[in-house]
Structure 1
Amino acid sequence: MRAWLTVMMMALAGCSVQVTGAPCQDDLQCPSAQRCTPEGSCVAGARSEEHLLESCRTAMETLARRADQCYGGMTPESYQRLADTESVCASVVASVQTGRQTFVPERFGACVRQLRDLPCGAMTLDDFSQGNLLARCEALEPQATEGNPCGSNLDCQGGWCDTSTGCTGVCKRYVPAGKGCDGSVPCQPGSTCSLNVCRAHANLGESCAWGVRCAPEANAACVDNACVARKASGVCKSADECEPGQACVKLNVAAGSDAPRECRPARGLDEPCTPGAFECGGLLYCEAATARCRPWREHGQTCYDPDGTKELALCLGGRCAFGAFLQLVCQQYVAPGEACLMDGDCGPTGACRNKVCITTWCR
C-alpha cells in the first residue's frame, strides 16, 4: 500500500513512474514504450498516429481543465461544449490525413504539459472557444506554406487559413506588427489591431489604450489604460483585474453601476449567491429564483440578463439572439453561408466575414 501511495505522489508531482498501470497525467510520466490514457493510467504501447483523435480530445480536455482553473465555476465538460471539441478534432484528423499537418506522438507528453501550464492571461474565452490555443501543442506541426490549401490556422506555417470562399482554405501571411490593418486579416501573434495598426501586446506598466491587449504571459489586466498585475483581493472594476478563481463582487447590489467592488473567491455551481452581486465563477450566473450559481442558458431559454439583475448569462452550445417579441433567447448557431452580425453567431468553429458565416475548421 505504501509503495502504491509513493507512485501516486510521484505522478501528481510530475515525476516519471516506471510502472504499468500507474496513475499518470501525461506520457512523460510513463515508460518509453507506454502512453498515458485519457483515464490517467500508463498502458503498454507507445503513442502513435493511431491515437491522433484520442490525443486531440485529450489536448482539448486539458485546455478545458485549465480554463476551469482560470475562470472557475463550472466543470471542464462545460468548457468543452463551448469549444466544440469534436468538430475541432475532426478538422485536425482531416488535416493530418491530407498532409497539411503532422502529428508527432513522442512530443505529446510535452504538449499536455504546455497546455496544462498555460498562463491564465492567455486563456481568454474567445481564444479558448475558437480552438486557437491548440496551436500551443508542439505535437501538432503545420506543413502548409503560403498559397497552399489549409483546413484551419493550425495547418499554416507562420500564417493563417483564409476560408472566406469555402473549404478548403488558402494559407496567407499575417499582418506584421507595426503595419496597417483593418480587421479583415489577422495581426501576427503577439500583436493586436489598434487604430488601424498592428500593435505589440503591452507588458506590465505599459499602455493598453485603444484596444491593445496586455501580454498573456504578464498575468495582467488593462486598468485605466495601463497593464497592471492581477490581484487576489482589493478594489476592482471588472473580474479581469482579479487573480484566477476570483470574482469582482459588487458590495451593494442596490447601488448603481459605479458601486464599490472587490476581488473575492468566486462561487461555484449551486453555491449560494446574491443576485446582482456578480459572485459566480465562469459560465455561471446568480439565478434570482434560487439565489444560487447556475449554468449559462440552454437552447430556447432567455439569455443575457434573464432575471433583470444584470447578471450576464449567455448560452452553452448556442448563441444569444433576438427571438419573438424582441426577447433575447438562446438559439442554434447560424449555419455556414447564412447571414450573421458577429463571430459569435457562427459558433466556435466558424466566423462572420462580410456578414456571412464561414467555417474556420474544415473537416
Structure 2
Amino acid sequence: MRAWLVVMMMALAGCAVQVTDAPCEDDLQCPSAQRCTSEGRCVAGARSGEHLLESCRTAMDALARRANQCSGGPPDSYQRLVDTEAVCASVMASVQTSRQAFLPEQFGACVRRLRDLPCGALTLEEFSQGNLLARCDALSPQVAEGGSCGGNMDCQEGWCDTGAGCPGVCKRYVPAGSRCDDSVPCQPGTTCSLNVCRAYANLGESCAWGVRCAPEANAACVNNVCVARKEAGACASAEECAPGQVCAKVAADAGAPRECRPARGLDEACTPGALECGGLLYCEAASARCRPWREPGQTCFNPDGTEERALCLGSRCAFGPFAQLVCQQYVAPGGVCLANGDCGPTGACRNKVCVTTWCR
C-alpha cells in the first residue's frame, strides 16, 4: 500500500514512474517504452502513428478541461462546442496525406502545454473554431505557401484559404502594421483594428478600437486599457474577473450591480437572472440550477425571460417561426451566413458564404 502511494505521489508531481498501469497525466510520466492512455494509465508500447486518433482526442480533452478550469462548465460541453470528432477526422486526413506530420515523442509536451494555456487564450471564438489545437507540439505543419491544405494547421507560415472549396491553398497572413479586412486574417499576435493589423496590448496599454489584450497578460479591456483580472469587486463583464469567477449580479433585478464571485457549476443551485453560472451554463428558471446550454429545437439566448444567456450546443441560435430564437442546424458549406458561428466549429463565414475550414 505504501509503495502504491509513493507511485501516485510521483505521478502527481510530474515525475516519471516505472510501473505498468500506474496513474499518469501524460506520456512524460511513463517510461519511454510506455504511453499514458486517455484513461490515465501507463501501458506497454510507446506512442506511435497508430495512436494518432486517440492522441488527437486526448489533446482536445486537455483543452476542454483547461476551459473548464478557466471558465467553468462541463468539459463534455466544450467537446461538443468544438466538434472534436470532426476536427480529429480532419487532422487524420492531413497526416495521411502528409500535409501534417505527427511526432509521437512530442505528445507529452503537447498535453502539458495545452493544460497550461493562459486563460486569456481560451476565448470562446478561439476555442469553438478549434484554433488552440495548433499549440500542440506533436502536430507539425508540412505545407509551404501556395501548397494544397486541408486547414490552417497544415500551413507552415500562414493560413489555409478554402474559399473555393476543399482542399484549400496556403497563403500568408497579413503582417503587423499592414492593412486588413475580414477576408484575410492577421498574423498571430495581432488583430485587425481600424483596418490595420495591430499587436496585442500588454497590461497598462490601450485596447481601444478592438485591439485584443495579450492572452499571457491575464488581462481584461476596461475603459480601453488592459488591466489585471480580479478575484473580487465590481465588474461589468466576466472577462474582468479571474479564472473560475463570473461577473454576477448581487440580486436578480435587471439593474442590480455586478461583482466578481466564484462560478456555480453544473446542477448547482442558482438564482435565475443573477448570472451566477460558469461557462456554457445558464440558470434554468424551472429548477433554479445551472444547466448546460440549449439543444437543437429549443429556444435560446434568453429562453426563460430572466436575462440568462443560453446559446446552443451542436447548433446555432437563430430566428425560427414566430420570430423566436431557436437552436437550429448550422448553415451548410455554400450557404448564406452573417457570422462564423452560423457555419459551425469546422466552418467560417467568408464574404457572407459558409466555407469549410477543417477539410476531411
Q: TM-score range with shorter-chain normalisation?
A: over 0.9
CA distance in 2, matches of 1:51, 1:348: 24
Identity %: 80
Compute the displacement of 1:52 (Å). Answer: 0.6
- Pairing 1:1-363 to 2, within 5 Å after superposition: 1-72=1-72, 74-256=73-255, 259-363=256-360
Q: Which amino acid aligns with 1:118?
A: L
CA distance in 1, matches of 2:108, 2:353: 39
Contact 2:300 2:325 in 1 (8 A): yes
Q: Which amino acid aligns with 2:12?
A: L
Secondary structure of the structure 1 residue equivalent to 2:43: strand
CA distance in 1, matches of 2:152, 2:121: 17
CA distance in 1, matches of 2:230, 2:80: 29
Compute the displacement of 1:255 (Å). Answer: 4.3
Q: Deviations over 1:224-252 (max 9, x none)?
A: 10001111111111110001111111113
CA distance in 2, matches of 1:341, 1:239: 25
Compute the displacement of 1:168 (Å). Answer: 0.1
Compute the displacement of 1:214 (Å). Answer: 0.3
CA distance in 2, matches of 1:238, 1:354: 30
Q: What's the TM-score once normalised by structure 2's chain length?
A: 0.99
CA distance in 1, matches of 2:54, 2:91: 11
Compute the displacement of 1:103 (Å). Answer: 0.5
Secondary structure of the structure 1 residue equivalent to 2:290: strand
Secondary structure of the structure 2 residue equivalent to 1:181: coil
Secondary structure of the structure 2 residue equivalent to 1:138: coil
Q: Deviations over 1:272-323 (max 9, x none)?
A: 1111111000111111122111111001100000111111000011000000
CA distance in 1, matches of 2:325, 2:5: 52
Runs (4+) of structure 1 exceeding 6 A deviation are none
Contact 2:183 2:351 in 1 (8 A): no
Alpha-carbon RMSD:
0.8
Compute the displacement of 1:354 (Å). Answer: 1.6
Q: Deviations over 1:55-75 (max 9, x none)?
A: 001000100000111111x32
Q: Which amino acid aligns with 1:177?
A: A
CA distance in 1, matches of 2:85, 2:136: 17
Secondary structure of the structure 1 residue equivalent to 2:192: strand
CA distance in 1, matches of 2:172, 2:12: 41
CA distance in 2, matches of 1:255, 1:318: 28
Compute the displacement of 1:265 (Å). Answer: 0.6
Compute the displacement of 1:253 (Å). Answer: 2.4
CA distance in 2, matches of 1:8, 1:126: 37
Contact 2:35 2:47 in 1 (8 A): yes
Q: Deviations over 1:89-143 (max 9, x none)?
A: 1111111111111000000000000000001000111111111000100111001
CA distance in 1, matches of 2:77, 2:134: 21
Secondary structure of the structure 1 residue equivalent to 2:227: strand
* Structure 1 residues not aligned, in runs of 5+: none
Q: Which amino acid aligns with 1:332?
A: Q
CA distance in 2, matches of 1:269, 1:21: 31
* Structure 2 residues not aligned, in runs of 5+: none
CA distance in 1, matches of 2:283, 2:212: 29
Compute the displacement of 1:219 (Å). Answer: 0.4
Compute the displacement of 1:18 (Å). Answer: 1.4
Secondary structure of the structure 1 residue equivalent to 2:106: helix
CA distance in 2, matches of 1:43, 1:289: 46
Compute the displacement of 1:217 (Å). Answer: 0.4
